Amino acid sequence: MSSRRFSERRARRVGYCLLTLSLVVIAILLGGAAGAQVSEGKPASILMLPLLVVDAQHDALIQVTNTSRNRRFAHCFYIDGTSWQQTSFDLTLNAQQPTHWVLSRGRQVDASDPPCSPTNADCDAAGVDPGLVPPMLPGFRGELLCVEVEQSGFPIGGNALVGVVSLTDVTTGDVASYPAIGLSGFDTSNLDGTLCLGGGVSDTCPFGAEYSGCPQTWTLNHLADGTPDALAGSGSSVQTTLTVVPCAHDLLNSVPQPAVLQLFVFNQLEQRFTMSTSVNGWAERHLADISNVFTRGVIGTDYLQTRVTDANGGVMLLGREIRSSGGAQPVSTSAALPLHPETTFAGGEVIVLPPQF
């Protein structure tokens, strides 16, 4: 480490020690803000993209944009949902710069990239390079987590990042897009590798919440599995999947965090059904695999409302609706379903980053 960087870090630490009392007061005053809901499509300091897939049939286009008028930096982690292995990389984004890459290809740093124009149909890697983005090999199924940082690598609450993912079926051309789920950053960061999501002052979080808290309860309006598609007609069907990612992450020790989901389902007759399921780190589940209550033949109506609560803490959810035409050669399409965060986990959670932070 250079003496200049060491001096800069020491100066920051001294400054934060002198301002400890003030920051604690600010944290208390921001207690209401720490309970703010997550954002979808609005600038944030932490971006979570719950579902990325690359295999023989699927790929994903990832887009991240710096919405500020200043240069911004981010450190990102691909996290495999099965093995919990991590692949990290850095992004450097100029003022109001969007960037993109394909999950299976990644993005190289290449000054000779062709410009995107009407005569160049393949615009992959066009534009200003944000840095080296590694490709993910076939078989990857998991999430992307990006944290806004300053140039030297310390996490900050700049609230400059937005993101979008387009999941593509490469065999049919079907595309399902969803916005990144964002957590807002506050001015209470102590520039360490423990990111405090909601909650109050504690030994782990001496300045209280550094980012907004995670939702504990979400609401999803959807069709019962097996309901015919109104446009495709007889023989068609609809099913719903739920991707679950606990907000707490221990990336230092590569340990997945558990979630215990309680699901409350209401049909059109206002009858209530209850079930539960557990998740360890990351999961994608068909609702009908959780319980046959989600099937049209059991619950008795086409339209349902499901409330999902994590008994352990905060959780990020993504709903997808998959429609099949049926018949001898069925065609499937998919679309992201809107979920509505209802309550925020009051206890506070942390994302623990690797040692370089």
d(CA 144, CA 166): 13
pLDDT band at 115, cuts 50/70/90?
A: low
Percent of the chain's residues with pLDDT above 90: 74
Residue 58 has pLDDT above 50, yes or no: yes
Residue 31 has pLDDT above 70, yes or no: no
**Co-location of 226 and 151 in the same domain:** no
pLDDT band at 21, cuts 50/70/90?
A: very low
- Which CATH number is 227's domain given? 2.60.290
Q: Is 6 helix (H, G, I), strand (E, B) or coil?
A: helix
**Co-location of 183 and 289 in the same domain:** no
- Which CATH number is 47's domain given? 2.60.290.11
Q: pLDDT value at position 81?
A: 96
The sign of the CA dihedral 295, 299, 305, 308 is: negative
Percent of the chain's residues with pLDDT above 70: 85
Nearest to 63 by CA among 122, 115, 133: 133
**Co-location of 188 and 337 in the same domain:** no
**Co-location of 266 and 327 in the same domain:** yes
> In this predicted model, what pLDDT tens digit does every residue of 243-298 receive, in sequence order?
999 999 999 999 999 999 999 999 999 999 999 999 999 999 999 999 999 999 99
Q: pLDDT value at position 126?
A: 75
Task: Domain of residue 316: give its range.
Answer: 215-344
Q: pLDDT value at position 264?
A: 98
Is residue 264 one of the residues assigned to a domain? yes
Mean pLDDT of 180-195: 93
**Co-location of 37 and 148 in the same domain:** yes
pLDDT band at 122, cuts 50/70/90?
A: low
CB atoms within 10 A of CB 340: 12
Q: pLDDT value at position 355?
A: 83
Residue 111 has pLDDT above 80, yes or no: no
Residue at a domain's end among 181, 214, 247 = 214
The residue with greater pLDDT, 221 or 124, is 221
Q: pLDDT value at position 121?
A: 58
Tokens coding 38: 């997550």
Q: pLDDT value at position 119?
A: 63
Q: How many domains does the chain have?
A: 2
Distances (CA, A) of 315 to 131, 135, 162, 186, 211: 30, 27, 19, 20, 15
**Co-location of 131 and 33 in the same domain:** yes
> In this predicted model, what pLDDT tens digit does every residue of 314-338 receive, in sequence order?
999 999 999 998 877 778 899 999 9
**Co-location of 255 and 340 in the same domain:** yes
**Co-location of 63 and 194 in the same domain:** yes
**Co-location of 219 and 158 in the same domain:** no
Residue 18 has pLDDT above 60, yes or no: no
The residue with greater pLDDT, 169 or 356, is 169
Under DSSP, the state recorded for 24 is H
Mean pLDDT of 192-218: 95
Mean pLDDT of the chain: 87
**Co-location of 236 and 176 in the same domain:** no
Is residue 145 one of the residues assigned to a domain? yes
Mean pLDDT of 121-137: 85
CB 77 within 8 A of CB 144: yes
Residue at a domain's end among 199, 214, 229 = 214
Residue at a domain's end among 160, 186, 214 = 214
Residue 304 has pLDDT above 70, yes or no: yes
Q: How much is the pTM?
A: 0.86
**Co-location of 174 and 321 in the same domain:** no
